[in-house]
Amino acid sequence: MPTLTPIEAVDAAIAEEMRRDSTVLMFGEGTATKRHALLEEFGARRIRNTPLAEGIIAGTAVGAAGCGLRPVIDLLFAPFLCYAMDELVNSAGKLRYLSGGQFSFPLVTLAMTGGGWGVGAQHNHNNEAWFVHSPGLKVVMPSTPADFKGLLKTAIRDDNPVLFFMDIGLLYQPGEVPDGEHLVPLGQAAVRRRGGDVTLIAYGKTVHACAQAAETLAGEGIAAEVIDLRTLKPLDTVTIVDSVRKTGRLVVAHEANRLCGVGAEIAALVAEQAFAALRAPIVRLGGPDAPAASSYPLEQACAPSAEAIAAAARRLMRA
C-alpha cells in the first residue's frame, strides 16, 4: 500500500475521479499553478486557475453543477468561505429543494482550516459548524490520508454540495493510502480504538490527540474508545449513541470554538438518546470564543491537547 500525505491523497482522488468521469473538473485559487500533474494529464479545460474571488468561483461552480458538471473548487483558507456564503448556502444548498428536485448540485468545495501553520486569525478559523447548520450541504473533515482520498472520491460522486475541510496540521503527515478504488461512505464514523470505560469523540487533527490520550489512559487501566466522526453532516448518530451507552462517559473534543460547536450538538444528542446510560456529566473541550493567534505556542494552547483530554477522562472516572 503506498504512503501519501493528505495533499497527495487529495490529488490522487481527483485524478482518479477525472479519469472515471469526464464531467469532473477543478478550478480555484492556484489550482493549475500547484497541481502540475493534474494540469499535464487533463489540460487547461479541466484544471483551471481563477482570480482570488471566492464568490465568483463558488457561483461558477453552482452554475456548472446545475448544468450537469461535477466541479471541485479550491478556496484555499476556510475564513474566505465568508465571501462564498451566498453561493454555497443560499444557492447550492437550497436550489435542489426550491426546484422540486429538478436540478442537483454535485460540487465539492475544498478549504484548509485549523491551526498548525501560525497563519493568524484571517486565515485560521474553524468555521465548519456554520455549514453543518446550513440545510442542503454535507460537511466532511477527515483525519487520515486514507480518509482524505476515500471521502473525497465519495464526495465528488455525491449529488449534493459537499464542504471538504482539510486540517492544515495534517496536510504533510504521511500515511498508508489504498491504491486505486477506495471509497469511504459519508455519514459513517470510524472507531479508531475500542474501550469500555469512556468515549472520546473528535474529528480532524483532534482525533490524534484523543488517540494519544487513550494510550496514556490505557497505561493507567482506563480503556478509552476513540471515535473519529469523519463526516459532520450527515452525522453518524448510531455509532455515537452506541458507544456512550456502553461506556457511560463522554468527552467530545474539537479545535473549533466550543460555543455552538459540533460538540454541543453531540452532547445534546447523547442527552436525548442515552441520558439513562450516563455515569457522569458530558465534557466538551474546544477552542475559545476568540480569533486564532498568529503565535504558534498561543495557537496550540487554544486547541484541546492530549493531556487535557486525558485529564477530562480521569475526572469522569472519579465522578
Report yes or no: 299 and 275 within 8 Å, Cβ to Cβ: no
User: How many Å separate Cα 267 from the centre of its chain?
Assistant: 19
User: Is-contact 157 17, C-beta < 8 A?
Assistant: yes
Strands 224-228 and 190-193: antiparallel
Q: What is the DSSP letter of 293?
A: P
CB 126 within 8 A of CB 287: yes
123 in catalytic set: yes
Which residue of the set 36, 123, 125, 133 is catalytic? 123
Distances from the Cα of 204 to the Cαs of 154, 169, 232, in angstroms? 18, 9, 10
Alpha-carbon distance of 18 to 211, in angstroms, equals 35
The CA-based angle 45-49-55, given to 5 degrees, is 110
Length of the chain in terms of residues written: 319
The rounded distance, in Å, linking the Cα atoms of 204 and 169 is 9
List residues with catalytic annotation. Answer: 123
